[in-house]
Amino acid sequence: MRRFVAVACEGETLAATLDEADGTTGLLIVSGGNEIRSGAHRGMADLAQRLAATGTPVFRYDRRGVGDSTGDNRGFLSARPDLVAAAAAFRNAVPHVTRIVGFGNCDAASTLALFGRSAEIDRIILANPWVIEPVDDLPPAAAIRARYGERLRDPATWRRAISGQISLTKLFKGLRRVVAAKSEILAPLATQVLVALDDWRDDVAIVLASGDATAVAFAAAYRGGASVTRLDTASHSFAGTENAAALHAVLAAAIALRHPDEGQDSEP
């Protein structure tokens, strides 16, 4: 059964949705960016329904100023009280839950890494964690390196450049960014998130979309020992039937403390 829950948070009200189930491990889904709790193309709502059908209670919420929640949207770095309130409301709504796993994509993943311990969350699953502080209109340097390395090895790229189908100005601007990136140091946000991840030790699993720029930037910065599963997609939100099924399999395994099914590229 799915029902609406109103959550009090510092004088405001968070809109939340609970998919009920009998399991003692619950999943708390945190929305990234300004995305509402149903997720892109209802991806998180569908995921919650699917997990609840196999015994996992799932709680989703809109942080203040987003979707149906009241208050001002002050971004993910100000979302600690929202996360703490949502986790407490989850426990109150489903008293038989003894363990909470948090899941978030993009800056919601960073929210969980930074503030999940404050919310007494037991384990976190992070998809494409956000560690980028943009300095211009180009993608992250790590994503540029990966993309340009692929394109420059393709003879078709040079044929298109010679024929004028590719902007040489943009090409060389990107190449300059790649060269300059060799001397880049980690941005404060990346350092903050990576330090926070050290505190989770064995209680964190990471999921990366192999072709997503945010995921590539995180992978370039991360040197920890958490389990990392790469899904072969460029979709940041894991849109589409196959991507949704792959994400569900990874989450179900992580919730049950199992390894992902064979066929996924998993790294210790």
pLDDT (tens, 9 = 90+) of the chain, 268 residues, equals 999 999 999 999 999 999 999 999 999 999 998 999 999 989 999 999 999 999 999 999 999 999 999 999 999 999 999 999 999 999 999 999 999 999 999 999 999 999 999 999 999 999 999 998 754 455 555 555 555 555 555 677 656 766 777 676 766 666 665 555 544 556 789 999 999 999 998 899 999 999 998 999 999 999 999 989 999 999 999 999 999 999 999 999 999 875 444 444 544 4
Structure tokens of 212?
């997503």
Q: Which residue has the tokens 């039937």?
A: 241
**Domains of the chain (ranges, CATH numbers):** 2-133+187-267 (3.40.50.1820), 141-181 (no CATH)
In contact, 89 and 5? CB cutoff 8 Å: yes
In contact, 129 and 113? CB cutoff 8 Å: yes
Q: Which has the closest alpha carbon to 31: 15, 13, 11, 49?
A: 15
For the chain, the residue count is: 268
Q: Which has the closest alpha carbon to 26: 101, 116, 88, 103?
A: 101
In contact, 7 and 13? CB cutoff 8 Å: yes
Is pTM, for the whole model, over 0.85? no
- Bridge partners, 4 (sequence order): 17
Helix or strand (DSSP H, E) at 109: helix 107-115
Q: How far apart are CA 196 and CA 124, in angstroms?
A: 12
Hey, how many other C-beta atoms are within 10 angstroms of the C-beta on 129? Answer: 33
